[in-house]
Amino acid sequence: MQTTAGRLARLGFADGARAERLLGELGPEAAGDLDLLDALVGTADPDLALTSLTRLVERDPGGPGDSGGLGYPSGSGDPSGPAAPGLLGALRADPGLRARLLGVLGVSAALGDHLVRHPEHVALLAGERAVRRPASRDLRAGLLRAVGADPGDPRPRAAGHGTETLSALRAAYRGRLLHLAARDVTGAASLAEVTSELSDLAGAALEAGLAVARAEHPGSEAVRLAVIGMGKCGARELNYISDVDVVFVAEPAEEGGDETEAVRHATRLAQGMMRACSATTPEGALWEVDAALRPEGKAGPLVRTLASHLAYYRRWAKTWEFQALLKARPVAGDTELGERYVEAANEMVWQAATREKFVEDVQAMRRRVEDHVRRDTGEAAERQLKLGPGGLRDIEFAVQLLQLVHGRLDPLLRRRATLPALAALSRGGYVGRDDARTLAEAYAFLRRVEHLLQLHRLRRTHVVPADPADLRRLGRALGMAGDPVEAFTARWRRHAMEARRLHEKLFYRPLLLAVARLPESETRLSATAAQARLEALGYTDPAGALRHISALTSGVSRRAAIQRTLLPVMLGWFADAPDPDAGLLGFRRVSDELGTTPWYLRLLRDETAVAERLARLLGTSRYATGLLLNAPEAVAMLGSDTELAPRPPEALLSEARVTAGRQTTAENAVAAVRGLRRRELFRTAVADLTGHLDVERVGQALSALNDATLQAALDAAIDKVEMERRAPLGTRFAVIAMGRLGGAEPSYGSDADVMFVHSPLEGVAEREATAGAHAVANELRRLLALPAPDPPLLIDPDLRPEGRQGPLVRTLASYAAYYRRWSSPWESQALLRARLSAGDASLGTAFLELADPLRYPADGIPDTAVREIRRLKARMEAERLPRGADPALHTKLGPGGLSDVEWVAQLLQLRHAGRLPSLRTTRTLEALRAAVAEDLLPSDDEAALAEAWRFASRVRNAIVLVRGRAADSIPVDVRERALISQALGYPPDGTEDFVEDYRRVTRRARRVMERAFYED
């Protein structure tokens, strides 16, 4: 036979035994009251409701063990009416009271506590008045009376300002909150009614707080003070517990009065009002009054005159401040002054989209939201109703931004609250009807959950709990059948997913509908509205962007259908890239090349990471876009980080030789090898832009790729020369890498600095061998310079003995003779970078052995050579810097640039590498690290030099990646500079930080260079 405790547990009590005991304590009539039991079982948390009810009955003198009564009404709703037989009797007599009281007690432990302190407030839930919405003037009057102020006074003053007065305000406020919550949880008030009444109640509390402040500060008659509600309060969509955002506006009470004195009085009033609402009393606090949305934020004055506000907004305000003003509404104080403030502000709000910095400010707003999520929620972001993916902020931000973009021309969009604004956007065709309905449902659900969370403890929270008991209470409060935990979690996740999806597509889908031949039933934007939206998202040529969208999505083909699925999200990714226009144009061109290839669009559709990476790449790098257009199949490598790893030099060389060997002519062989190089350059560029390669590894990857290209091209050149001569070459041939290629430090735009050396085979005349070697060198240069759709690898042999005046190719013996007799210090310095790049390995080794005594002299270089090198360095800085260039921003020759760092390393090598083998390296940073290990350079100096070298090298690479062509100076053009800074990882508004960082790093390196290079 089932026990009573078991039956109660089956009915929904978590602890049946405890429920049995508490019902017993209520008395035999309560224990047998089936209506009461049904009402308890129907609450969100029967255990919580029963516990609070038991505590409340204990305060009831008309309850068990006592006599009399508190006068609970039996349907009259009048606390002063005839006495009734206690609370339990009132509940039996009034089903409405029973449903409302227990409904509140089942969701809110905090309101249960309030009723235990103020049991007389139960009367607020009885009778006809319990289901009627109070007028905002009645809310204001009730809270003013609570602090002893006259509601009929245009500037009401409280009877006092002590703890007792503030406690009375809080008790009255929570009584009204109780009245509203009872209508909310029983379905008698809609979400819009709840949020608007909460906002009116907050305004009433602010008015009462202002009355308390007037009582505290005599002389307040000299000032008119308007309290402007912002955020959710201004939009009349406030939560149960939330900071109340305000702005204060003041004027002298008399025309021509002293504004300074008026602001001083108003500031004291504003501070007093804020304390009256925020201070902790025995009844707790109401909420924080937050004035941080005022001009200059917390750094600005708390109160300004109307003229001061408007002057700030006209000259200094950012777009986000106009977004905040979109919700501004007078809520307390001088209504006429508040209305004038809002009217004047609105004139500027709806022109914000035309501002010069609108796009940058929009991007900054988006970043602030994302940073806020990461900073304030961490791993809990997924459970955030407000800031998490698919949360309330996603919806609100999207709606507000669409209002700013289109509201300038369409006054019907000028609504404060989110849901009315969303409905207006739908009616105007800016958001599809189905999307608007889905988004509104998600928003309403999330707000109801937010309210239930906050009601529980009357605490400000937006995090969905993980505790099953809490989830069960939420599910039951929302009327979910079956397993309430599972049902709630599924619905919450579904709404969040839909909200996130629509947030991402909300801006972009209508753009497609504006240009594509889609069913007439679909919502369309006008061309003007579509261009306005694209411009707001950062596209500088919105008309051109619309043409690209049309070309990609028009028609009924499967290709167009997939593009219509892809583009809504990709347009957003392009908008987040440094150059959205270039990204969209590049995507169209790549799609034109690959659109009929079955795997291409399927890959982008099914692999989100590939599509996002492609969008970012195309919107950042003209260089990578150009490579991709000529090797579009390389898109496939975007799907995996392992695909972006540089290939080993041996594998590159093997593939290059095999690729060239399949061709029948030297020209075709080199063209095929350059195609391989194009693909590998793309791999390296993507890895660089996505942060998978640091600048040293980029240089090594480019060096290995250039070596393989040179070797394959050299093989082709030798074959052709031998074919034309109809005889073997008769000499061994080697290509010696010099400069950046020799140091494995080339940039994307570097030429290949080389020297050519040959050695006649036994029995071959030197003259004949030299003629063959010249033919090979010239053919190699010709083949690599042939026109082709890829970045060229230009041969630069100017570092050879005698420079351009000397022979292009020398024998090993000729090099030995020259260096023995004529070598100058700069040539020894140049040989520090020499290494074998291509050709005969044994000959290359012999050449390097020949060079070693010159570049690593046993006793170091003499003082005369040191002076000569220093003189050359100073001359180079004076003569080779381009006319008009800013030296501080020249990455190669400027102060603290690449030349400064490299010459320090090379001078240390020339002086010490003869006795210290660790310094014998062609790489700059390796040489500096070795110098530290050998106590030749302080580690702090090495760190400063290395940081400058890496920064300057990254900037040079970024210039090529962004512009598609090489340059040594940070560009003067503001837009190009911004694109380069973003490619380096700076935010869109971080261009000045980028330049300042570069100046700071290079100034430090210059100081080190002057000490390490010029001082003995």
* Chain segment 355-382, per-residue pLDDT in tens: 776 766 766 676 666 666 666 555 566 7
pLDDT at 519: 38
> Per-residue pLDDT tens for 440-487?
999 999 999 999 999 999 999 888 998 999 999 999 999 998 899 999
CA atoms of 957 and 962, how far apart (whole Å): 9
Q: Which of 432, 433, 465, 438 is nearest to 449 (CA)?
A: 465
Identify the residue with better confidence: 562 or 636: 636
- Check whether 306 has a pLDDT greater than 90: yes
Residue 320 near residue 369 (C-beta atoms within 8 A): no
- Check whether 515 has a pLDDT greater than 60: no
Strand (E) or helix (H) holding 247:
strand 244-252
pLDDT at 535: 81
Q: Kindly indicate the confidence band of residue 68, based on its pLDDT and cuts at 50, 70 and 90.
A: very low
> Per-residue pLDDT tens for 862-886?
999 999 999 999 888 888 888 888 9
pLDDT at 1003: 97
Q: Kindly indicate the confidence band of residue 34, based on its pLDDT and cuts at 50, 70 and 90.
A: confident
- Check whether 148 has a pLDDT greater than 80: yes
- Check whether 946 has a pLDDT greater than 90: yes
pLDDT at 817: 95
- Check whether 509 has a pLDDT greater than 60: no
What sign for the dihedral angle of Cα 661, 666, 672, 674? positive
Strand partners, 206: none
CA atoms of 449 and 443, how far apart (whole Å): 10
Chain mean pLDDT for the chain: 89
Identify the residue with better confidence: 736 or 380: 736
Tell me, rounded to whole angstroms, the distance of Cα 972 from its chain centroid. 27
Residue 624 near residue 682 (C-beta atoms within 8 A): yes
pLDDT at 380: 62
pLDDT at 373: 60
pLDDT at 685: 96
CA-CA-CA-CA torsion for 539, 540, 542, 548, nearest 10 degrees? Answer: -70
What own/partner pairs with CB < 8 Å and gap ≥ 24 does 612-616 have? 612/573, 613/638, 613/686, 613/690, 614/587, 614/590, 614/638, 615/570, 615/573, 615/574, 615/577, 615/583, 615/587, 616/573, 616/576, 616/577, 616/583, 616/689, 616/690
pLDDT at 66: 40
- Check whether 977 has a pLDDT greater than 70: yes
The answer to which of 208-217, 226-235, 589-598, 892-901 has the lowest mean pLDDT is 589-598
Alpha helical stretches, state H, 412-557 = 418-427, 433-457, 468-477, 484-505, 509-515, 527-536, 542-553
Residue 591 near residue 550 (C-beta atoms within 8 A): no
Residue 268 near residue 303 (C-beta atoms within 8 A): no
- Check whether 711 has a pLDDT greater than 90: yes
pTM: 0.64
pLDDT at 966: 92
pLDDT at 42: 93
Identify the residue with better confidence: 366 or 167: 167
- Check whether 79 has a pLDDT greater than 70: no
pLDDT at 561: 74
Identify the residue with better confidence: 632 or 579: 579
969 backbone φψ class: left, alpha, beta (φ>0; ψ -120 to 50): beta
pLDDT at 403: 87
CA atoms of 826 and 874, how far apart (whole Å): 13
> Per-residue pLDDT tens for 373-413?
666 555 566 788 887 778 888 889 888 888 887 788 788 99
Residue 72 near residue 122 (C-beta atoms within 8 A): yes
pLDDT at 523: 45
Q: Kindly indicate the confidence band of residue 549, based on its pLDDT and cuts at 50, 70 and 90.
A: confident
CA atoms of 403 and 503, how far apart (whole Å): 14
455 by DSSP, 3-state: which?
helix
Q: Which of 472, 398, 408, 487 is nearest to 440 (CA)?
A: 398
CA atoms of 574 and 617, how far apart (whole Å): 9
- Check whether 63 has a pLDDT greater than 80: no
> Per-residue pLDDT tens for 634-680?
888 998 889 999 999 999 999 999 999 999 999 999 999 999 999 99
Strand partners, 229: 246, 329
Triad 784, 788, 793: Cα angle to 5°: 35
Type of residue found at 919:
L
- Check whether 803 has a pLDDT greater than 50: yes
pLDDT at 573: 83
CA atoms of 425 and 542, how far apart (whole Å): 21
Residue 710 near residue 838 (C-beta atoms within 8 A): yes
- Check whether 900 has a pLDDT greater than 70: yes
The answer to which of 440-444, 545-549, 775-779, 815-819 has the lowest mean pLDDT is 545-549
Triad 191, 196, 200: Cα angle to 5°: 150
Query: What percent of the chain stands above pLDDT 70?
Result: 93
- For residue 308, count other CB atoms closer than 10 A to its CB: 17
Q: Kindly indicate the confidence band of residue 517, based on its pLDDT and cuts at 50, 70 and 90.
A: very low
CA atoms of 272 and 422, how far apart (whole Å): 37
Q: Kindly indicate the confidence band of residue 422, based on its pLDDT and cuts at 50, 70 and 90.
A: very high
What own/partner pairs with CB < 8 Å and gap ≥ 24 does 950-953 have? 950/694, 950/695, 950/696, 950/925, 951/997, 951/998, 951/1001, 951/1002, 952/891, 952/892, 952/896, 952/897, 952/898, 952/901, 952/998, 952/1002, 953/695, 953/699, 953/745, 953/747, 953/891, 953/898
For the residues 142-169, what does the mean pLDDT come to? 94
- Check whether 69 has a pLDDT greater than 60: no
